[in-house]
A and B are shown apart, each in its own frame.
Chain A
Amino acid sequence: MSTVTATTPPRASALAMSIRQNRGFYGALLLLAALYLVYNLIHPRGFSTNVFIANTNESVALAFVAMAQAMTVIVGGLDLSVGAVMTLTSCIASELVRGEPWQIALGCIVSVAAGAGFGLINGLVIVYGRLQPIIATLATGAVAIGLALLIRPQPGGEVDLDLNWAVTNSIKDLAETYHLFDDGEAAWLQPVAWVPVPLLILVVITAAVWIPFQRTVTGRTLYAIGSSEGAAYMSGLPINRAKLWAFTLAGLFAGCAGLYLAIQTGSGNADIPQAGAYTLNSIAAVVLGGISLLGGVGTVIGALVGALILRTISFYFRILSIDPLLQPLVEGVVLLAAVSLGAIRTLRVKNRLELFR
């Protein structure tokens, strides 16, 4: 490796190095691009803003939940409560996000903060209680579902309709709803007026939370813990702080998912099977996005890509008019095929001891 980087120009080698280190991520990105391109080619109204907006709308919640899962998988853990925390925050949001503008804003903040707070509790139990993340979050997930049922025994709620319209459409519609930028007619806005707000939300939150965090010592410590916790400890890295941050940010992302889901559907629903499905899909998305379940490899952006791949596959069912009953079968086969590709590595291993980790 070092000889290659020494003989090639620095910039090319940086990209080449990045690709070599993140094969899974770049593979996922290519797969997503190919899948979505073909989808638009065969869609009768392909490449149109409406289709794009509808697709992004349906992807946001899963994308956030997958990003939440990625935070904990990178440190070598697993969070089985992400779907439950999403459900809890969507129930909270369905109660609070209405009324005066300041009430709506406060409601959004409280919902996301509730998610982050629940994530922090997960972190405290795991770090100071020294419990295995899988089993601890299995239990706290039950608590989260219980709280969600307390808040909302029956599905329902009246989330602010303006907000619902504004965040599930294009930027122009957002500006029009709130009379910003000359009702969305400002000349400088036109080049991006078609961009779906859900996509903007995903990009902004990823850029505001993950990218700065990744560069901090705490952020780098996540990867060190995932690779070898003992070595990270001996290097004097802030292990406990990093784990607490990982689970808190996981809660924050799950909170964003819940808030968006509540605004998108206009209601809250303490749906236990739905929470379980989101949790399981988040694990699948994380793996598809090139994050190692053993920890230490991958990024939150990979999980985002993985979630979009899963959603794109489900879009195919509608336009190809495949029996929706076959959807779980195809999803499962795709997942198994994707992870089996990673197994090719094992056929090339010469020393079998390297397989055991």
Chain B
Amino acid sequence: MANDLTLPRLKSDDLPIVISAGFVLVILALGSIYTVATLGTMPLLSPNYLLTQLQTGAFLGIVAAGMMMVILLGHIDLSVPWTMTAAAMLATTVGGPAAIPTGLAVGLLVGLFNGFGVAYLRIPSMIFTLGVDSVMRGLMIAHTGGFAPQDSATPLMRYLAADKLLGVPVAIFVWAAVSIVIAAILSRTAFGKAIYATGNREAASYLSGIRTRWVIVGAFAISGLCAALAGVLLAGYSAKAYQGMGNAYLLPAIAAVVIGGTHILGGRGRFIGTVVGVILIVLLNSVLSIMQMPEAGRQIIYGLVIIVMLLVYGRTAKVTS
């Protein structure tokens, strides 16, 4: 479906995207059959319903876009939850026209710090970003005293997250803008090519003259920025920042990137796949909530879907030497 939006590349990279896009259609079809059988209508296929779902998916989509940059390097960013929360809290605390820049600056700083630890200190990203997440959580709990801050989101934050433009939620435009920028970086710039190269083999990239440390710092900075933007928007959507608002976004973001065909060890993956992965997860969640599936069933189905999708196309090569 959406494959013709980006440059054609390797066929094997397209397979996951085609399969997950097909699975999106399967989810929509099964969900519609269910609603026809029980309610007699097909709310799932109405444009309004889909747009609302995509609006809530926009936050996940923005987080996943940043996460993908890091995963393409073979790293991971576990500091996303509290980067989001910190950006949202500081943005609402500062308020006024400086709110959004403050939030984004928080994300940029966290990202640069993550990049410094991973690229220069050579600490595994899994543990360094985990520590940064804990520090951010500590700072925010100390900042707010453990309560939800009373400051509310600025009108601009609310407009970007919850308003509509030409009948389409503005958040979707923001997600689209972020997506276009990231897709352009990945496919059209030297930095994007350097990310793929470094993710494949850092030593070879270094010997080819790529400043691999800067590439790593850059990717983490983008991930921090994206997480901060999603946090600021989420605060706008719910009118205020609250404790742990980012916790529900970390694992779905990783899952969306991987379902979209990006290799968890880095070096392979196309951006459009991440978009399809986000849509898949959002629609799966909404169909399950239409079915009034209890949390237990949701978690099981969610886990099984990821396993099955990966068994179809995410298998690694057999170790033979």
Contacts and interface: CB of A to CB of B under 8 A. Distances in A.
Interface of A: 78, 125, 129-132, 134-136, 138-150, 153, 229-230, 233-234, 239, 270, 273, 276, 280, 283-284, 287, 293-294, 323, 325-333, 335-336, 339-340, 342-343, 346, 352-353, 355-356
Nearest to A328: B138
Contacts of A134: 76, 264
Nearest to B146: A325
B138 A353 contact: no
A123 to B, nearest CB: 14
Interface stretch (B15-23, B155-163, B164-172, B303-311): B303-311
B300 A131 contact: no
Given A132-B264, A229-B319, A353-B206, A335 B130 contact: yes
> B-side binding surface: helix, strand, loop or mixed?
helix
B127 interface: yes
Interface in B186-241: 201-203, 206-207, 212
Given A130-B316, A147-B296, A343 B122 contact: yes
Interface residues of B, number: 62
A136 B138 contact: no
Interface stretch (B30-38, B96-104, B250-258, B267-275): B250-258
B254 A340 contact: no
Contact of B316 (A132, A273, A346): A132
Contacts of A325: 141-142, 145-146
B130 A125 contact: no
Contact of A328 (B120, B122, B137, B304): B137
17 contacts: A131-B307, A132-B314, A138-B251, A138-B255, A143-B304, A146-B297, A146-B299, A234-B321, A270-B296, A294-B124, A325-B141, A328-B135, A328-B137, A328-B138, A329-B141, A331-B134, A356-B206
B202 A328 contact: no
B100 to A, nearest CB: 26
A-B pairs, 8 with minimum CB distance: A329-B138, A332-B134, A146-B299, A142-B303, A146-B300, A149-B296, A332-B135, A143-B303
Contacts of B138: 326-333
A150 B296 contact: yes
B148 interface: no
B80 to A, nearest CB: 13
Given A142-B299, A343-B121, A125 B141 contact: no
Given A142-B302, A328-B141, A352-B206, A283 B131 contact: no
A27 B303 CA distance: 39
B123 A342 contact: yes
A329 B82 CA distance: 12
Given A230-B319, A283-B130, A335-B130, A329 B303 contact: no
Contact of B303 (A131, A139, A340, A343): A139
A84 to B, nearest CB: 9
Contact of A131 (B76, B244, B301, B316): B316
B300 to A, nearest CB: 3
A323 to B, nearest CB: 8
Contacts of A276: 247
Nearest to B206: A356
Given A283-B127, A332-B132, 13 more contacts: A125-B311, A131-B316, A135-B255, A146-B302, A233-B319, A239-B319, A293-B127, A325-B145, A329-B139, A330-B138, A335-B127, A340-B123, A346-B121
A131 B303 CA distance: 14
Nearest to B247: A273
A122 to B, nearest CB: 10
A13 to B, nearest CB: 31
A343 B207 CA distance: 22
A179 B292 CA distance: 52
A346 B117 CA distance: 12
Nearest to A270: B296
B321 A233 contact: yes
Given A131-B316, A340-B123, A136 B307 contact: yes
A353 B203 contact: yes
Interface in B280-321: 294-304, 306-307, 310-311, 314-321
B51 interface: no
Contacts of A149: 294-296, 299
Nearest to B202: A356
Interface centre among B136, B212, B310 (most CB of A within 10 A): B310
A135 B122 contact: no
